[in-house]
Structure 1
Amino acid sequence: MTSASAAAGKAQDSRAFEAAARVGYVVLGLLHLLIGVIAVGIATGGGGDSADQSGALQQVRDAPAGLALLWVIAVGLAALAVWQIAEAFVERDSDAKKRWAHRAKFVGTAIAYVAIAVTAVTLAMGGSSDSSESSQTLSVRVLAMPGGVALLVVVGVAVAAVGVAFVVRGCTRAFTKNLSIPAGTAGRGIRVFGTVGYIAKGVAVGVAGVLFVVAAVTHDPNAAGGIDAALRSLAALPFGQVVLWLVGAGLIVYGLFCFARARYARM
C-alpha cells in the first residue's frame, strides 16, 4: 500500500490533473441543476424527461454544441473518478478500520462517477441510456438468483443508507471539512447551500433505496426505477407535489453548491 499511496500522492501533485478534477465538480453541478429543474417541472405538471442523470445528459445532448459538451462531461467525471481513487489510497489515518472505510467511500464515489461518464460517452456516440430501465433490469437479474429477494433487500438498504448518510452530512455540515470556505457572506451561503443540497439529494437517494426494497418484497422489479422513479413516487404522497418541488429545488441548490465546491474543494 506504501507504493500505492506514493503514486496517489504524486498524481495529486499534478496541476493539470487537479484542474480536470475541478471541472468534474462543475459537471456534477450542471447535472444536478438539470435534474432539479426536471423534478420541479414534474411537480408543476410538466416535464416528460427522466429526472436522473440519463435525463439530464439527454438534455445536454439536445442543446447547441451538446455532443462536445458530453465529451467534456465524460472527461471531467473520469478525471474526478481517478482523483477519488487516488484520494482513497493516500494514507491519512493510522487506524486500519478508518483507512478501509475511507477507501470504500472514495472508491464507491469513483464508481458512481465512472458510470455517469460512461452514460455520457454512450449518448455522445449515438447510443441511448435509461437509468430507470437499468435499475429494473438489475432487479430482474437479482430476483432470478438464489436468495435474490434477500440480496435485493440488501441492495435497497445499502442505497437507502447512502441517502441517510447524505442527510446526516448535510445536517451536521460534515462536508465543510473538505472545503476551504471563505469568510463572510460567501462562506455562509456555501454552508447553507451545502446543507440544503445534501439533504435534498439524501431524500432522493433514500427513496430510491426504499423502492428496491419494495421491488424485493412485492417481487415486482418494475417498482425499482432509480432516482427518477423515486422523485415521481414523492408526487404520490400527501402534499406530494409540494414535497417534490422542494426536493427538486434542493437538487438545484446542490448543483450550485457543486460549482462552489469546484472552486473551494481541498484537493
Structure 2
Amino acid sequence: MTASGTSSLSRMQRSTAFERAARAGHAVSGVLHLLIGWITIRLAFGQGGNADQSGALAELASKPGGRVALWVAVVAFVALALWRVTEAVVGKKRESGSDTGDRLKAAALAAVYLAFAWSAFGFARGSGRSSGEQNAGITARLMQSTPGKGVLLIAAAVIVGVGVYHVYKGVSTNFRDDLDGSVGRGLTWLGIAGYTAKGIALAGAGLLVAVSVFTADPSKATGLDGAVKTLGAQPYGQVLLVLAGLGIGLYGIYAFVLARRATM
C-alpha cells in the first residue's frame, strides 16, 4: 500500500467514532453468543432451534425491532472488520509496532467479521439461511472430488486448530493481554470459562467436518449446531448441553467486556 493509503488508515484509527463503531461489533457478538447459549440450553430440554450464528440471527429477527437490530449488527460487524484491516496494514493503534503474526491474525479476524456481517445482512433483508444447511451443501459438493475432500480436511484441521487455540487462550489466561487495565479474579474466571467452552464447541465442529469426509456423509458437517447436538446425544447429554450453553453464554458476557475494555 502507498504511503498516502497507510496514512489514511492511521487517521481512521484515530477516529473516536470509528473506534466506538468497532467496539459495538464486540457487543453485537456478545448478544449473539448469549442467544446461542440460550438456544443450547433450550435444546437440553427438548425444544428446537439451531445453536449457531444463523439460529441466533433468526431468533433476533423474530423479536420486535429485530430487523432494526440486525441492520445495526451489520454496521457494527463491518466497522470491526475494517478496524482489523487497519491493524493488519498499519498495526495496532496503541502499540508502536506489530509483528507479522499480529497482522495475520488481524487479517483473519477481518475475514471472520465480514462473514458475520454478510450473515446478518441476509437475515436483515429476510433471506437468511441456516448455517448448518449451507455447510452441509458445500460439503456435499466438495466431497464429489478428491481435491475437494482434501480442502475439507484442511478446513477441518483449521477449525479444530482455532478451537484448540481458544481453549489454550482460556486456560493460559492469555486473553488478559487483550484488555486495558487490571483484570480481577472474577473477570479472569469469566474469560477462562467462555474461551474454553467456545473452543471445545469449535473443535467439535471441526471434527465433524473430518468425520463427514471419512464417512461420506455431508449431513454431519453442520458446524457448531451439529457439534452441540452431537454433544446432546451423548450419555448425560442434557447436563452437557446445559454446561455448554452456560459456557457459550459466559463468552457472550466476556464479549461485552471486550466492547468496553479491548485494546484497540
TM-score range, shorter chain: over 0.9
CA distance in 2, matches of 1:250, 1:144: 37
What does residue range 12-91 of structure 1 map to in structure 2 within 5 Å? Answer: 12-46=13-47, 48-91=48-91
List gaps (5 residues or longer) in structure 1: none
Residue type of the alignment partner of 2:262: A
Superposed CA deviations along residues 117-142 of structure 1, whole A, max 9, x for unmatched, are: 11111111121311001111221222
CA contact (8 A) 2:91 2:103 kept: no
Which moved further from structure 2: 223-232 or 234-243? 234-243
CA contact (8 A) 2:170 2:193 kept: yes
Identity of aligned residues (%): 39
Equivalent residue number for residue 240 of structure 2 = 243
In structure 2, relative to structure 1, the CA distance for the partners of 1:240 and 1:258 (3 Å cut) is same
Equivalent residue number for residue 157 of structure 1 = 157
Equivalent residue number for residue 128 of structure 1 = 128
SS of residue matched to 1:258: helix
In structure 2, relative to structure 1, the CA distance for the partners of 1:5 and 1:201 (3 Å cut) is farther
In structure 2, relative to structure 1, the CA distance for the partners of 1:37 and 1:181 (3 Å cut) is farther
CA distance in 1, matches of 2:74, 2:113: 9
CA contact (8 A) 1:40 1:249 kept: yes
Aligned residues: 261
SS of residue matched to 2:99: helix
What does residue range 216-255 of structure 1 map to in structure 2 within 5 Å? Answer: 216-255=213-252
The alpha-carbon deviation at position 169 of structure 1 amounts to 0.5
Equivalent residue number for residue 254 of structure 2 = 257
The alpha-carbon deviation at position 57 of structure 1 amounts to 0.7
CA distance in 2, matches of 1:125, 1:136: 23
Superposed CA deviations along residues 9-61 of structure 1, whole A, max 9, x for unmatched, are: 22211100001011111100000000000001111222x12111111111111
Alignment TM-score, normalising by the size of structure 2: 0.93
Residue type of the alignment partner of 1:256: I
Residue type of the alignment partner of 1:220: D
Which moved further from structure 2: 72-81 or 106-115? 106-115
Alignment TM-score, normalising by the size of structure 1: 0.92
CA distance in 2, matches of 1:8, 1:178: 21
CA distance in 2, matches of 1:91, 1:102: 8
* Alpha-carbon RMSD: 2.0
In structure 2, relative to structure 1, the CA distance for the partners of 1:233 and 1:89 (3 Å cut) is same
CA contact (8 A) 1:74 1:121 kept: yes
CA distance in 2, matches of 1:91, 1:114: 19
